[in-house]
Amino acid sequence: MNIGGRRVAPSLSARLLGLLSWILLSLVFPGGGFLPGGPVLGAQVRDSLPSPKGYVSDFAGVIPGDTARQIEQIARAVADRTDAEIALVTVKSFGDLGFATVGDLGIALADAWGVGGAGSDRGVILILAVQERQIRLEVGYGLEGILPDGRAGAIIDQVLVPAFQRGRYGEGFLDATRVLAGIIGQETGVDLSDAGASTARPPERAPAPASGGNEAGQILVLVLVFFLFGGGRFIFWPLVFGRFRRGFYGGGFGSQYRGYQHRSSFHGSSFGGGFRGGGGFGGFGGGGFGGGGASRGF
Amino acid sequence: MNAMTEQTKKILIILVVILVVSGWMISQRNRLIAADETVSAAWSEVDNQLQRRSDLIPNLVATVQGVAGHEREVFSDIAQARARLAGASTVSETAEHYQELQGALSRLLVVVENYPQLQSNQSFIRLQDELAGTENRIAVARNRYNEAVRRFNTQIRTFPASMLAPRFGLGQRDYFEISESARTVPQVNFQQN
**ipTM value for the complex:** 0.72
Report pLDDT for B160: 82
Contact assessment for residue B55 and residue A256, using Cβ atoms and an 8 Å cutoff: yes
Which residues in B lie closer than 8 A to residue A148 (C-beta atoms)? 130, 133
Q: Which of A81-90, A204-213, B82-91, B121-130 has the lowest mean pLDDT?
A: A204-213
Position A85 scores a pLDDT of 93
Buried b (16+ CB within 10 A) or exposed e, B80-116: ebbebbeebeebeebbbbbbbbbebbeebbebbeebe
d(CA A154, CA A175): 13
Contact A162 B192 (CB under 8 A): yes
Give the chain A residue whose CA is nearest to the CA of B133.
A292
For residues B33 and A252, the answer to whether their CB atoms sit within 8 Å is no
| Nearest-CA distance B38 → chain A (Å) | 7
Q: Is B47 on the interface with A (CB under 8 A)?
A: no
Is A77 in contact with A85 (CB distance < 8 Å)? no
Interface probe with B: pick from A46, A295, A298, most Cβ of B within 10 Å:
A295
Hey, is the C-beta of B49 within 8 angstroms of any chain A C-beta? yes
Q: Give the one of A13, A267, A291 whose C-beta lies nearest to B10's C-beta.
A: A13
- Among residues of chain A, what percentage have pLDDT more than 90? 39
Across A12-21, A217-226, B8-17, B159-168, least confident range? A217-226
Q: CB count, 10 Å around CB of A263? A: 19
C-alpha distance across the termini of chain B, in Å:
100
φ/ψ of A289, rounded to 5, equals -130, 150
Number of residues that this document lists for chain B? 193
In whole angstroms, what is the distance from residue A43 CA to residue A61 CA? Answer: 27
Which strands form A85-91's sheet, in the order they lie side by side? A56-58, A85-91, A123-129, A134-140, A289-297
Count Cβ atoms below 10 Å from residue A66 Cβ, excluding itself. 9
Nearest to A151 by CA among A84, A206, A103, A205: A205
Q: Mean per-residue pLDDT for A54-72? A: 94
Alpha carbons A184 and A202: distance in angstroms, whole number: 11
Q: Do A291 and B123 touch (CB under 8 A)?
A: no
3-state secondary structure of A127: strand
* Contact map slice: B 106-145 vs A, CB within 8 A: 117, 121-130, 132-134, 136-141, 143-144
Give the mutation candidate from B136, B137, B146 for the A interface (greatest A CB count, under 10 A): B136
Which chain B residues touch A161 with a CB distance below 8 Å?
191-192
Instruction: Look at residue B111 in the predicted model and tell me its pLDDT.
Output: 86
Tens digits of residue pLDDT in A93-146: 999 899 999 999 999 999 999 998 888 899 999 999 999 999 999 999 999 989
d(CA B100, CA A39): 31
Q: What is the pLDDT averaged over residues A161-182?
A: 94
Amino acid at A214: N
Q: pTM, whole model, 2 decimals?
A: 0.68
**Stretch A237-244: mean pLDDT, rounded?**
43
**Could you give the CA distance from residue B177 to residue B97 in angstroms, rounded to a whole number?**
12
